[in-house]
A = this chain, B = another copy of it.
Amino acid sequence: MAVTNKRRPTIHDVARASGVSRGTVSRALNGDPYVSTAALAAVTRAVAETGYVVNRAARSLVTQRTGTVVMVLSEPQEKLFEDPNFSVLLRVATRRLAQRDVALVMMVAGDDGDRERVVRYLRGGHADGVLLLSAHSGDPLLAELEGLAIPAVACGAVLGREGVIPYAAADDREGARQMAQYLVDQGRRKIATITGPLDTPGGLNRLEGFCDVLGRKAVKKLIAHGDYSRHSGEAAMRELLDRVPDLDAVFVGSDLMAAGALAVLRERGRRVPEDVAVGGFDDSAIAGSTHPKLTTVRQPLEQVATETVRLLLELIDGADTVENVILATELVPRDSA
């Protein structure tokens, strides 16, 4: 264990220390089978001795691979920070990639300037793949991405490009069905819904699932739209109450919006769940902290993240295509319904 030396040890140092050549060290390090056991042992010892760590820059200069993946957050309104889901995705993805010694670079693609930076970064070949988060269908980044021909995978489907950009996601539609059915089974008769943005899979598919159970025509007047923000949940709830004063349940497309809806219901003097039952979606941290606690649909975010990473790594490793992954949801009954 050498004291802090000014110069970092190179592969030459390891070669000298182990008495073999550069090439053999490289082979030993990269798991080439044509390395004698003696050489392998010598190299292993020398690496430990010198504290050698491969220089990625030099390696990627010749291999044309970077060992880096970019996570792009395309969140136009800066509401990312309101979304507790995001942190889960980040944490899990980082870990999974780190296990394969792949570094995760974060980039925000909020405005045109951001986007240009992302594209420049990718075009420069600084990453082997892209992990897309909350990409909307109209996102101009998507077109640019396709031109780049770089492996890309999304967390949650990218609407309109389901066949183009592979993804892993929760089964939003089935989850919504579960909740709608649950409300029906509780004897609710006038069930409204507050959707997320319809250009996101969560917004669209949760509405679809809702309609699957209740009938598209029957719920026509019982739909209001939000944008996943708490505030939009409040606004949509007000709108619904004005339009359909006698509603007795509402399925809200995200826990955060549901928290907003709860506040409005209270403000309007409706008791939850006695007068109005409320169902959320996500089972995020906020679901346990509302009053009353939120009955919601749990989506397996950790698994979504794990699978997304797996897909991306497969593509990077040369797979031509990969199968999308859809994960099951689970209804979590609490106090609001």
* Contact surface of A with B, Cβ cutoff 8 Å: 4, 8, 51, 53-58, 60-61, 66, 68, 71, 73, 78, 80-84, 86-88, 90-91, 94-95, 98, 101, 103-108, 114, 117, 120-121, 123-126, 147, 149, 230, 256, 259-260, 263, 266, 285-286, 288-291
Contacts and interface: CB of A to CB of B under 8 A. Distances in A.
Contact of A291 (B68, B107, B263): B263
A183 to B, nearest CB: 23
A126 B126 CA distance: 13
A105 B108 contact: no
Contact of A60 (B57, B104, B121): B57
A145 B123 CA distance: 33
Nearest to A267: B291
A104 B103 contact: no
Given A103-B126, A289-B286, A55 B51 contact: no
A91 B108 CA distance: 7
A231 B121 CA distance: 42
Contacts of A81: 84, 87-88, 91, 285
B84 A82 contact: yes
Contact of A98 (B58, B117, B260): B117
A230 B285 contact: yes
Contact of A53 (B57, B86, B123, B149): B123
Contacts of A51: 123
A297 to B, nearest CB: 18
